[in-house]
Amino acid sequence: MAVSAARGRSRLHDYGVSLLLVSLFLSVPWHAYAASTIGPRQFQDLSSDAISALVVHPDPVQNIDPNNPNSHLAKILIPRPPDTANNTLVKDYIVSTMKKLKWHVEEDTFTDMTPYGVKRFTNVIATKDPTALRRVIVAAHFDSKFFANPPGSQVRSFPPVIL
Average pLDDT over residues 92-102: 92
Distance CA 126, CA 129 (A): 10
pLDDT of residue 27: 53
Q: Could you state, in order of their start, the residue ranges of all structural domains in the chain?
A: 2-35, 60-162
- DSSP secondary structure, 80-106, as one string: --TTSHHHHHHHHHHHHHHHHTT-EEE
Question: pLDDT band at residue 147, thresholds of 50, 70 and 90?
Answer: low
Q: What percent of the chain has pLDDT over 70?
A: 63
pLDDT of residue 12: 45
Collapsing DSSP to helix, strand or coil, 38 comes out as coil
Tell me the pLDDT tens digit for each residue of 23-77. 555 555 555 555 556 667 777 788 888 888 777 766 777 777 778 888 888 888 8
9 or 26: which leads in pLDDT: 26
Question: pLDDT band at residue 19, thresholds of 50, 70 and 90?
Answer: low
Bridge pairing between strands 136-138 and 117-128: antiparallel
Average pLDDT over residues 81-98: 92
Do residues 35 and 133 touch, judged by C-beta distance below 8 A? yes
Distance CA 120, CA 125 (A): 17
103 or 66: which leads in pLDDT: 103
Selection from 74, 130, 87, 131 nearest residue 105 by Cα: 130
Lowest mean pLDDT among 47-61, 103-117, 119-133: 47-61
